Chain A
Amino acid sequence: MSAGTTKLNVTVTDVVTVNELVKRFHFERTDGGDLPTFSGGAHVVVEMRDGDKSRLNPYSLMSSPHNTRDYTISVRRDDSGRGGSLFMHNRVKRGMEMVISYPVNLFSLDLRAKKHLLVAGGIGITPFMAQTAQLAGEGGNFELHYTCRTPALGTYADVLRDRYGKRVNVYYDDANERLPLERLLTSQPLGTHLYVCGPAGMIRWVRETAAAHGWPDETVHYEHFAAPQPGLPFDVTLALSKKQIHVGEEQSLLEAMEAAGIDPPYLCRGGVCGQCETNVVSYDGTFRHNDHWLTEAEHCSGKKIMPCVSRFEGKSLVLER
């Protein structure tokens, strides 16, 4: 039995332009029923059917977990990406029917925490929208620190300030404001848990600084969805199903397998959950590992690949699928 999620048929009930880079999408169940309750930090995988191409991208739910009428996500346009965010921005309109997965939470709050210290960068704010709603509803103790480029791109900064007042601190790059990370990490009460979501460089900085100041690993949580990156096309032999597949420039290896009728299990499609881990039978070339699941030793071993985000360049690649 493979893990996986149930699908939900939803209708887009609203598309809202938040700023020049971000749009918000509202979904309700097409059959009019309630959506499943979820926990702050959960994501859904949105299926995008674009002619004969199909893309499945994970997006954090940002609505209140207590709201089962509609789900909302926010999508930042990535002009150099594989086209998932462009599809959402340019093609998805109110009234469209789409398929999304049940919520999956790989970035859960640790409910033992005496205090939750939330650090967001850019569009990494979205899971915290839901988490702060959950914590506020339960009288939880939290503090949010949010860095963004400019006030115009400070997605939901105003909403969060209105909701939570002084518990929200925003830092704008263009005003040369800096997140006082060292001070924050050295002045928290015992029992505080730290959560970070944002660009890879920021996550690394926060984790390394926390480690340097003696924060135990178990108290540092991060959400690290790497969107699959485009790259050179490559060919793959699937040994078990005896198929040859071609992975296009803007396709992920996982998507190419799915297009060929192979369905490896998945949850995050972002290189963190480990579900689609695939054994390598043989190869002649170089792996482009982009995941956060395999260890460095496994990356070097040439024995495993995470097809949701990782790629390959070279003469031949045979996988156990």
Chain B
Amino acid sequence: MGINFRQETFRDDYTFRNSPEFVRRFPFPFHEDAYMYAVNIEPHVQGPKGTVFENLIDVDEHYVSEMRDRAIVLAEDPLRCQSLPHMTLAGWDLLELLMTEKANSYPDHFSLTREGDRWRWINRPLGIDDTFTFGDLSTLPYGPMEYITRQSQGDFCILDQRDGNLWMDAGMVTTQADWSLDFDIGMNFFEWHAPVPLAHEKGIFTRALKFLTNIQQGKPARRLNWTMTINPRLDTSPENYHKWGTDRATVTPENVGDKVHLRVELQSFWRLPRSNALVFPIRCYLIKMDELVTVSKWARRFHRVLRDLPIELAEYKGLTRYRPTVIEWLSKYDDGAPTSPGFAPD
């Protein structure tokens, strides 16, 4: 079944929006009316049709436009894509994973033909038809990680595993919630999570690391994370803070519905076979408040979550300035009725 790829922008005139059926498949991250950290990790297995878990690597209506936005970011700042010298093998692993998953899940849009090391990759939405030799850098226009992640929605962090820790040694990061690959490159798991409040004291990172280092081939895992973004901007990076930081002062009761977005990250965790590295695809989904409130359960629940969020978390996520305005706006959609457990719309 073909996807109808939207032509839209994530900057300047911000024409991004979700079609009604894509609103329903949004990965709403709150299973109850309150939010606190938890190591909310579950097996990354296929979920029901009509959800973002239908395929393990999700491609949606924003694909073509997101890839165009990524190319703009990279042209302005090539350091958004970095791979330390020992990570090339992991890049090939990632290329194989993404090509295989896409070709299996979306045969109308992608196809992969393998004859030994001679591979032919067809990406119809982006008009790509390349034949190359797996493992031979000279046969691709970019390194393997950059090549395939210029064709894959979401950010990708490839983590080397050694000395009982994980090291951020390669990545493609252009749709991030205010963190920088160029700053974090080469850091270990505790170092790059150092700014997160409350979670260290709860021992969350020690447990999470123990879990992640034991992830095995063929058994990926996932979790959801969330924040909020003003305007549907994918590139909310520290490098470009001067371009988007001030947007947070532009929220008024009149423009909340169109301007304020819930931003959800679907993070999945995969062991890579040749390199024994881990890859974390971090896929960003945006939904406007106007779109969110079309699902009444989500409107009620998000109002309650935002209202009761601990102040440290609100500050860390950068919500402080506009939170009261958004809570006030959402309160119109919360009649106090109880909500059903679980993520799904009623």
Contact = CB atoms under 8 A, between A and B. Distances in A.
A pairs with B: yes
Interface string B186-218: 000000000000000000000000110011111
Contacts of A42: 276
Contacts of A3: 211, 214-216, 219
Given A5-B219, A36-B217, A108 B42 contact: no
A4 B219 contact: yes
B246 to A, nearest CB: 41
B31 interface: no
Contacts of A245: none
Contacts of B210: 274
Contacts of A103: 217, 273
A105 interface: yes
Contact of B86 (A105, A112, A217): A112
Interface stretch (B146-154, B158-166, B321-329, B332-340): B158-166
A241 to B, nearest CB: 23
A66 B85 CA distance: 21
B125 interface: no
Contacts of A1: 41-43, 211, 221
Contacts of B214: 3, 267, 273, 275
A11 interface: no
Interface string B17-47: 0000000000000000000000001110000
Contact of B276 (A36, A39, A267): A39
Interface in A187-219: 217-218
A267 B86 contact: no
A240 interface: no
A150 B323 CA distance: 76
A99 to B, nearest CB: 14
B273 A104 contact: no
A219 to B, nearest CB: 10
Contacts of B163: 217-218
A4 B216 contact: yes
B219 A108 contact: no
B331 interface: no
B105 interface: no
A171 interface: no
B275 interface: yes
A104 B160 CA distance: 15
B95 interface: no
B101 to A, nearest CB: 15
B274 interface: yes
Interface string A114-140: 000000000000000000001000100
B86 A111 contact: yes
A27 interface: no
A261 to B, nearest CB: 22
Contact of B273 (A38, A110, A111): A38
A111 B42 contact: no
A5 B43 contact: no
Contacts of B217: 5-6, 36, 38, 102-104
A22 to B, nearest CB: 26
A11 to B, nearest CB: 19
B89 interface: yes
Contacts of B161: 108
Interface string A83-107: 0000000000000000000111100
Secondary structure of the A contact surface, majority rule: loop
Nearest to B277: A111
Nearest to B89: A111
B218 A5 contact: yes
Given A3-B214, A273-B214, A37 B273 contact: yes
A307 to B, nearest CB: 17
Contact of A65 (B42, B216, B274): B274
Given A1-B43, A111-B275, A36 B216 contact: no
A293 to B, nearest CB: 11
Contact of A36 (B42, B43, B273): B273
A24 to B, nearest CB: 23
Contacts of B160: 111-112
Contact of A110 (B85, B162, B219, B274): B162
A1 B207 CA distance: 12
Contact of B274 (A39, A102, A104): A39
A211 to B, nearest CB: 15
Given A110-B162, A138-B89, A6 B218 contact: yes
Contacts of A105: 276
Interface in B261-287: 273-276
Nearest to A137: B135
Nearest to A107: B276
A95 to B, nearest CB: 26
Contacts of A41: 276
A138 B85 CA distance: 13
A104 B41 contact: no
Interface string A133-173: 01000100000000000000000000000000000000000
A162 B218 CA distance: 35
A42 B161 CA distance: 14
B219 A6 contact: yes
B272 to A, nearest CB: 8
A217 B163 CA distance: 9
14 contacts: A1-B41, A1-B42, A3-B219, A4-B219, A5-B217, A6-B216, A36-B217, A38-B217, A65-B274, A102-B216, A104-B216, A108-B162, A111-B160, A273-B214
Interface of A: 1, 3-6, 36-39, 41-42, 65, 102-105, 108, 110-112, 134, 138, 217-218, 267, 273-275
Given A5-B216, A274-B210, 18 more contacts: A1-B41, A1-B43, A3-B211, A4-B219, A6-B218, A6-B219, A37-B273, A39-B273, A39-B274, A102-B219, A103-B273, A104-B217, A105-B276, A108-B162, A108-B276, A110-B162, A112-B86, A275-B214
Interface of B: 41-43, 85-87, 89, 160-163, 210-211, 214-219, 221, 273-276
